[in-house]
Structure 1
Amino acid sequence: MLAQAILKYLNFRPTYRRILRYKKTAPPLSQLMVPLPVKATSDPYSNVGAELTGKLDKEEVMKSLAKFYQRREIKAAAIENGIDNYIYHQTYLSFRRFCLDGDKLPVDLHITLSDVIAGACHVDSLLPYFIRHAKLSFPHLECLDDLKKISDLRLPANWYPEARALTRKIIFHSGPTNSGKTFHALERFFSSKSGVYCGPLKLLASEVFYKSNHRGVPCDLVTGEERNFASNNKTPSSHVSCTVEMVSVNTPYEVAVIDEIQMLKDPSRGWAWTRALLGVAAEEVHVCGEAAAIDVVKEIIMSASEEIELRRYKRLTELIIEDTALESLEKIRPGDCLVCFNKQDIIWATRQIEAMGKECAVIYGSLPPGTKLAQAKKFNDPDHSCKVLVATDAIGMGLNLNIGCVCRVIFNSLIKPTVNEKGEKEMDTISTSQALQIAGRAGRYGTQFSIGYVTTLKNEDLPTLKRLLSQHPEPITQVGLHPTAEQIELYAYHLPHANLSNLVDIFVNLSTVDDSLYFICNINDFKFLADMIQHVPLPLRARYVFCCAPINRKIPFVCSMFLKFSRQYSRNEALTFDWLGRQIGWPFACPNTLLDLVHLESVFDVLDLYLWLSYRFQDLFPDSSLVRDMQKELDCLIQTGVAQLTRLLINSETRTPKLQWLA
């Protein structure tokens, strides 16, 4: 039966640490360079060499060039000119082809070859022409010093003159989950004359936006997809709540709050926190996060010649690790949150719990924000029959879901797929930081569940959980950086024939980073999108913006629509609401199977992509308001599907004999 196959699949745990690794060995710079073809001149007077010395014997030319290529002195001279073995060989092949196929060689080269063949001069006399050819074939040889200067990332503090012109006061609010650190920082935000809040998620930014306006402090919302104004006439407010990538480093504020500062270490998004910390132009900068980030933040602030004030907070409620594991889902009780690290476990656990007559709220990462909030609201409602939450670690960043009714957190497993700083995929035990943040969601100050409890589903995981929760998170030593559009444009000026993916590779290869403090964030997603639309004719700046789009490259439908968006844009044709509706098959019905639900989630991601692009290309993505209305309708359909997850699973068993939806 399918259910047994699912159970077997979900209970399988690999004994090795890494299940999939994308080996990233940085190739030498020269191998990133694509040689340009060098063509013979079309000047009608370019056959003067042949008139002076006669036609060249091609067989003798080949012999002379082969002798030239093999000389150690020539190889040594080439290295002195920045030509390594790879470029040396590629240039030789191109130079030989140029000399043999070109009927009209440059006069000086023709005469020199003639003299070499006649024995009138040494074969080494070809060196200046060989080096000239190498620089034409590999243009970076002429501008290597300029490229290195552009990619010198050792002093990122100097990139933000507005912030450096201020005497900023940096205040670090350090503490675990449920300690009130963000509360105190936000109180200063609300009382300021002007301020900006930088959060890691749209839902967090939205919550601060609503909370600020509810308290009578007009506040705008800025995310990657939209800008919502507090005032009806759409005049900018003095306060802004935004996702961290969207914070302006040119606008002056009295107070800035940067939440979840430990995300500096994130291998993909860490650059955004580094940029906010160094670049936000605020008189007071309040950063909130775990103690593991204190030392590295101090180092960064010192590099900007600024000082930091440290405020430490303790957890407001007690957190108790239970002595026994749950062992069986039959022991689930009201107020429990079962934390899983993949959608398969979520679906399996939900079915098992609901089979016992207990209603579940379900939250996982790919659900739309509205659906997550609806599920959290259902779980929080004391009058609702739903008393159990099954969620991924999406609940770890607590403010965004406002879950106040978790009494006990139960880890279904302690193994989670991760991506390391090299972009390599791994299956590994969760970190101390992750364990503390997720477990910290148990219990909430000022609620009926003031004491929090935490345990595991399996007995064998409990000792590991106790060990993780008894430790302090490992101190963060490096934070992320990322090449800017301006830097890539300068590279394109020097290397006009290189494509965007190639330019980024060259930039990373040539970059100089203070690796005691910084690393370059992985650019796999950026390069994937750059390669996907390489054949689409786009201006460099537009191409760069498209490649920064936050999409999940594992979802084929989203990638397909991304390609359609770029093609339509390249033709300068508006992507209207009607055009979009035809592409995605709008309208949709309520999902009947898990595959239907997964597809609706991917469609929601496509609408998010449209809104993200409309914020940057308003002229060709004109119907953002209509698309937002479409998203609201789609969100309702997804909410209906999630509320009937068990029914969808049963339908999937009868209609889909294979485990396709587990992929």
Structure 2
Amino acid sequence: RKERILCLVYLTFLKTVFLKQGGGKNISFHPFQDLWARGFNFEKAGKKSYSFSTGEVLKNLNKFYKRKEIQRLGAENGLDARLFHQAFISFRKYIMESSSVSADLHIILNDICCGAGHVDDLFPFFLRHAKQIFPMLDCMDDLRKISDLRLPPNWYPDARAIQRKIIFHAGPTNSGKTYHAIQRFLSAKSGIYCGPLKLLAHEIFQKSNDANVPCDLVTGEERVFANEDARQAPHVACTIEMCSTNTPYEVAVIDEIQMIRDPARGWAWTRALLGLCAEEIHVCGEPAAIDLVTELMYTTGEEVEVRNYERLTPLTVLDYALESLDNLRPGDCIVCFSKNDIYSVSRQIEARGLECAVIYGSLPPGTKLEQAKKFNDPDDPCKILVATDAIGMGLNLCIRRIIFNSIVKPTVNEKGEKEIDSITTSQALQIAGRAGRFGSSFKQGEVTTMHRDDLVQLRDILNDAVPPVKAAGLHPTPEQIEMFAYHLPDATLSNLIDIFVSLSQVDGMYFVCNIDDFKFLADMIQHIPLNLRSRYVFCTAPLNRKEPFVCTTLLKFARQFSRNEPLTFDWLCRHTKWPLAAPKNIKELVHLEAVHDVFDLYLWLSYRFVDMFPDAVLVRDIQKKLDDIIQIGVCNITKLIRASQSAAAPGTAEAVSEDFPLSRTQKDARAVSDRHGAASTEALSIAVEAAGLRRVKNSRPSRLGSRQEDVKSYGRGSLANRLLQEGLLTQEMLRQLESEWQDQHRNGRYGFGSKRDDQHSSKETRKKRK
């Protein structure tokens, strides 16, 4: 075989020489008649163009792919099942479509087709090709060592050098667990509080300084020093991502420890729990996290002391639903799971002559605090609160009764598909527990639902045990990614992350957090020339990738940064068109919220790149002014809703834009259900599936077992009603779908008809209907 290869190479060399001496004439050589007979062909000025019998080659390649021995060899060389499959697809395409397949590979293929070789002979060529498309295969051992995440405690040598005392304060919402931990924090010589929200960090910052305990505030966008000379105070309140694992403290408090399981942010709690250098670490959260924290501390050689707390005020699940907004009383909070429901309910409350405060996640922290203050003020006429699950933590609210407008919420699963599913027991308890706060004017909390059909299921959810927290989140560090980049200098940051996750090994107590947002930003700024560390920082920026204006601004920040041009206050004002007026409709209010996020982004980057974002003080000043403008808009939110509707259909009071769907009341939704019937619901299900919205059946079994009751257990009435309530379907869309279904029904598309018609239909018709 070697002699044949050498002969073929030599003849190719001779051909090249003859071509040069022959004035460019086309001289063809056919060194082996058997190869020529099987379709091998040399032509056109020395270019090799080989033509195989496609079916025969594919047959042998498939045999190669299916052999267990080959798959095992691939695994030994770093090709797991996914990489092996991708490499084979590329290798097959290379053989079948490339005009420059190497001569030695051609001879191997010829021998296999002749029966003189074995498909295993292809493996060296396959592995060579795999290393060309996956360069990390050449340094797989080093990469595996870098991405080994099985011993996270070893990442924090300073914490391992001391013997820490871990105290777990376990209890439900409003049980005083955090209060006791904070008292120890205030009495210590030095301490750090780590919370999930800026609002919580700000609250502890104020409490500490009011108690004459100097305390600094550190968040991603803000640094506030207790001392006028900017000296660090012995105490600090921070968001959990900002905690230092190098500074020694006497006491540390980690709040909401159950969020260690969060698929996006869980890594921050893991880092704080394993890495904080504190003599005492007070962990506060749900009892469901006790076992995991105990197991994690066992790996560090530290014991956990558990202190259990009971709720300080009683919480009662009412036997009746609200059913109508006419039944609202002072101290009521209606919890919705979408901004559209917020808008709808707010307007209906205002139509009854009542004032309401509004709180939802995308509002600036200052606006949330003002709305909470307005609701809590006994002298303010605003006695009703309409909010999303953003009230679950971070705000002190005097709520008497929690009313769930819905018990299902839209979510996005790991595959990026939209789903609708019931809220979890943990979420329900967190929200319901806000009623009857200890120390408020309401000594007892109550919880119910807006709709009667939801009440039984809410009771079941609240009575269920919270599933234990099983794993803690991890995230690749900048240092690990830099070491990867050293071995793979040509890989993009997004590819580096993908390779890291695919090679990473984790212990059963850990998982790698979701990095889709990181990869989205990495791909977005990939074309901009940045060094790896700067690129990594830009990709970890806290922003909502669903906000186009904010994402566009980050892109402009990165481009300006790459040119080494400082991003000044004047540049930012031109980009955001500052100054901005008070919003006149909902669309303008949403834009103002996006501009506020842009200012947050600037401030966040200003602490990472001080020279390139030099005007943080000026930006913070205009952000406060913008906060006031947004507060004006939120206080007049019902006027903005009416303006949005009028703009959608001038002169029509009840018109609703598809971009601004309002929820239907229970009476309206049931009327729709009666009018359209079960068959219409079936057609709607088909239409919604086609639109990409995946309806997820409730995890709880239907109590009555029928299909109709299964739909009811999923929500109020039919699927149509639920989609209307959640703002995923508008009245106009419903009418259009009903019209389309009627047309299809008349044409027999779904095969619906009378029994008599079916009996007299032809065989062809029955086949079509099947």
- TM (normalized to structure 1)? 0.84
- The AA in structure 1 aligned to 2:622 is M
Alignment match, 1:473: 466
Q: Distance in 2 between matches of 1:125 and 1:423?
A: 41
CA contact under 8 A between 1:95 and 1:130: conserved in structure 2? Answer: no
SS of the aligned residue for 2:484 comes to helix
Q: Distance in 2 between matches of 1:98 and 1:469?
A: 62
CA contact under 8 A between 1:415 and 1:430: conserved in structure 2? Answer: yes
Give how far 1:52 is off.
12
Give how far 1:470 is off.
2.1
Give how far 1:131 is off.
5.2
SS of the aligned residue for 1:502 comes to helix
CA contact under 8 A between 1:171 and 1:311: conserved in structure 2? Answer: yes
Output one character per residue of 1:535-556: Cα deviation in whole Å (capped at 9) or x when no partner: 1111111111111111111111
CA contact under 8 A between 2:219 and 2:238: conserved in structure 1? Answer: yes
Give how far 1:159 is off.
1.2
Alignment match, 2:161: 165
- The AA in structure 1 aligned to 2:578 is W
CA contact under 8 A between 2:198 and 2:219: conserved in structure 1? Answer: yes
Structure 1 position 402 matched with structure 2 position 396: yes
Aligned-residue sequence identity (percent) comes to 60
Q: Distance in 2 between matches of 1:205 and 1:174?
A: 20
Alignment match, 1:219: 215
Q: Distance in 2 between matches of 1:357 and 1:640?
A: 19
Q: Which residue of the other structure, out of 620, 633, 642, is the alignment partner of 1:650? A: 642
Structure 1: give runs of 5+ residues left out of the alignment: 1-45
Q: How does 1:558-637 map to 2 (within 5 A)?
A: 558-637=550-629
Give how far 1:646 is off.
1.1
Give how far 1:637 is off.
0.4
Q: How does 1:399-548 map to 2 (within 5 A)?
A: 400-403=394-397, 405-420=398-413, 425-514=418-507, 516-548=508-540
Give the number of aligned pairs: 605
Output one character per residue of 1:129-159: Cα deviation in whole Å (capped at 9) or x when no partner: 7755653453212111211111111111111
CA contact under 8 A between 2:136 and 2:488: conserved in structure 1? Answer: yes
Structure 2: give runs of 5+ residues left out of the alignment: 1-8, 19-28, 31-39, 43-47, 650-656, 662-726, 728-770
CA contact under 8 A between 1:267 and 1:420: conserved in structure 2? Answer: no
Q: Distance in 2 between matches of 1:236 and 1:89?
A: 58
Alignment match, 1:236: 232
SS of the aligned residue for 1:283 comes to strand
SS of the aligned residue for 1:389 comes to strand
Structure 1 position 59 matched with structure 2 position 31: no
The alignment's C-alpha RMSD in Å is 3.1
Q: How does 1:29-178 map to 2 (within 5 A)?
A: 50=13, 59=41, 80=73, 82=77, 84=84, 86-88=86-88, 90-91=90-91, 100=100, 134-178=130-174
Alignment match, 1:197: 193
Give how far 1:77 is off.
7.1
SS of the aligned residue for 1:616 comes to coil
Alignment match, 2:328: 332
Give how far 1:510 is off.
1.2
Q: Choose 182-191 or 78-87, whichever is displaced more.
A: 78-87
SS of the aligned residue for 1:417 comes to strand
Q: How does 1:277-288 map to 2 (within 5 A)?
A: 277-288=273-284
Give how far 1:418 is off.
3.0
Q: Specify whether residues 129 and 443 from structure 1 end up closer, same or farther in structure 2 by C-alpha distance, changes over 3 A only.
A: closer
CA contact under 8 A between 1:220 and 1:240: conserved in structure 2? Answer: yes
Alignment match, 1:32: none
Q: Specify whether residues 517 and 425 from structure 1 end up closer, same or farther in structure 2 by C-alpha distance, changes over 3 A only.
A: farther
CA contact under 8 A between 2:582 and 2:630: conserved in structure 1? Answer: yes
- The AA in structure 1 aligned to 2:352 is M
Q: Specify whether residues 86 and 327 from structure 1 end up closer, same or farther in structure 2 by C-alpha distance, changes over 3 A only.
A: closer
Alignment match, 1:385: 381
Q: Distance in 1 between matches of 2:224 and 2:452?
A: 48
- TM (normalized to structure 2)? 0.73
SS of the aligned residue for 1:660 comes to coil
Relative contact order, higher structure (CA 8 A, sep 6+)? 1
Q: Distance in 2 between matches of 1:581 and 1:606?
A: 11
Q: Distance in 2 between matches of 1:598 and 1:169?
A: 46
Give how far 1:122 is off.
9.4
CA contact under 8 A between 1:322 and 1:455: conserved in structure 2? Answer: yes
SS of the aligned residue for 1:543 comes to helix
Q: Specify whether residues 53 and 656 from structure 1 end up closer, same or farther in structure 2 by C-alpha distance, changes over 3 A only.
A: closer
Alignment match, 1:22: none
Q: Specify whether residues 128 and 441 from structure 1 end up closer, same or farther in structure 2 by C-alpha distance, changes over 3 A only.
A: closer
SS of the aligned residue for 1:416 comes to strand
Q: Distance in 2 between matches of 1:659 and 1:365?
A: 22
Q: Choose 177-186 or 268-277, whichever is displaced more.
A: 268-277
Bigger Rg, which one? 2
Q: Distance in 1 between matches of 2:596 and 2:136?
A: 43
Q: Specify whether residues 653 and 89 from structure 1 end up closer, same or farther in structure 2 by C-alpha distance, changes over 3 A only.
A: closer
- The AA in structure 1 aligned to 2:144 is K
Give how far 1:47 is off.
11
